[in-house]
Amino acid sequence: MPQGVLRGKAWKFGDNINTDLISPAQYMELDYESIGRHAMEGVMPGFADRISKGDFIVAGENFGSGSSRETAQIALKYAGVGGVIAKSFARIFFRNSINTGLPVLELQEVDRIDQGDELEIDLAKGEVKNLSKNESYAVPPLPPNVRELVEAGGLIPYLKAKLQNT
């Protein structure tokens, strides 16, 4: 699969999934792997044990509202989530996702995607393919500089790589 193309299964959630539901506060002092084991526990207990690496969260409006702490994105990444597709995101969650290397895409047609649908996402083209339904949806593509950060794994790995090459 070309760089910037991701593939996984859809896990559906509704509107207003806040950071306390994504990463419950009682686990935020743990190491990253442990935080990941509790991802989405506030809304779907056992989520991290049920997904496969690379699967996607597909949600409604205002995903990631609440606290600005990055443990929500860390929990999702360490649980193996390949990205989040939602109708809209809380602004700080969206930016923190880029900084931690978690792909996030806004898609108004999330209602066309069902739990378990196989998806393929092309970050450069701005395209979400629903392989289960043989449908394709356009999303705003990530700008090249933002895509570079995401593909590097986040801001810190991106900067480390840049500094090693200077």
Assigned CATH for 5-164: 3.20.19.10
Mean pLDDT confidence for 23-28:
91
Domain ranges (residues) in the chain: 5-164
Instruction: Kindly report the pTM of this predicted structure.
Output: 0.93
Within 13 Å and on the Cβ side, how many CA atoms surround 87? 16
**Res 97: pLDDT:** 95
Within 13 Å and on the Cβ side, how many CA atoms surround 4? 15
For residue 18 the two structure tokens come to: 């806040």
Query: Are 145 and 99 in contact, with CB atoms under 8 Å apart?
Result: no
For residue 134 the two structure tokens come to: 């043989």
pLDDT by residue (tens digit) across 112-148? 999 999 999 999 899 999 999 999 999 988 888 988 9
Q: How far is CA 166 from the centre of its chain?
A: 31
Q: How far is CA 158 from the centre of its chain?
A: 18
Torsion of CA 152, 158, 163, 164, to 10 degrees: -20
Cross-strand bridge partners of residue 119:
8, 130
